[in-house]
Amino acid sequence: MTYLSKIENLIIVQCVLFLVPVNIFVIGDWLAAGIQWIFFRYQQSYLGNSLIFFTRDLYYIQEGILKGKSVVASEITYVAISLMVLAVFLLIIATYQEKPETLVKASAVMTMGSGCLYLIADMVQYGIFFNGPAGFVIPIGVPVILGCGWWMYQMSYFETDLEELECAIPSDEKKSEN
């Protein structure tokens, strides 16, 4: 049985967040409905089914197809995506550090910040109560993102790793080291 370090477990948890749906949304008066993940969204409308990647939203902004609140919400979502990706990279770098506590805490803060940005983007697009003329949204994944970030920030994994290592050394070896 292989043992994964606690940082590697955090990387796995962070990567699983990319599979959690962030939002379930309805556009307008049921003109379209869908589910949004971090990198893409699946949308059903009277025009058909669509799989829309976040890069397509950037293209829509650049071409002027999206306007108003939708532009601001898409840009906030893009910043949230960037923070999530950066948080994973920080955890990967932390596996190679001798004292990774600072990078893990920064990754946790970025994860929580990303969750807050998703919530802000939802409020910009749909209103403060997640319901308005643009439709409504249910941010089902945002509490999961915030909870994982808080859990990562609160963990004291590094002290327990050192204590486990000290307990694993037999007492004869401890005496011979002194």
Give the per-residue pLDDT at 143: 97
Mean pLDDT of 120-133: 95
Q: How many CB atoms lie within 10 A of CB 7?
A: 21
Helix (H) or strand (E) holding 41: strand 40-45
H or E segment to which residue 11 belongs: helix 6-16
β-strand partners of 138: 24
As a whole number, mean pLDDT of residues 18-34 equals 95
pLDDT at 167: 56
Residue 177 has pLDDT above 60, yes or no: no
Query: Looking at the domain assignment, is residue 1 inside a domain?
Result: no
Q: Is residue 127 part of a domain?
A: yes
Q: What would the pLDDT profile of 60-118 be if each residue is shown by its tens digit?
A: 999 999 999 999 999 999 999 999 999 999 999 988 888 888 899 999 999 999 999 99
The tokens describing 150, both together, are: 């808080």
**28-70 tens-digit pLDDT:** 999 999 999 999 999 999 999 999 999 998 999 999 999 999 9
3-class DSSP assignment, residue 103: helix
- Number of domains present in the structure of the chain: 1
Q: Is residue 60 part of a domain?
A: yes
The answer to whether residue 170 is domain-embedded is: yes
**Choice between 1 and 93, residue whose per-residue pLDDT is larger:** 93
With 0-12 / 13-18 / 19 or more C-beta atoms within 10 angstroms meaning exposed / middle / buried, residue 120 is middle
Q: How confident is the model at residue 162 (pLDDT cuts 50, 70, 90)?
A: very low
Phi, psi of 45 (to 5 degrees): -145, 180
Domain residue limits at 33: 6-177
**Does residue 124 fall inside a structural domain?**
yes
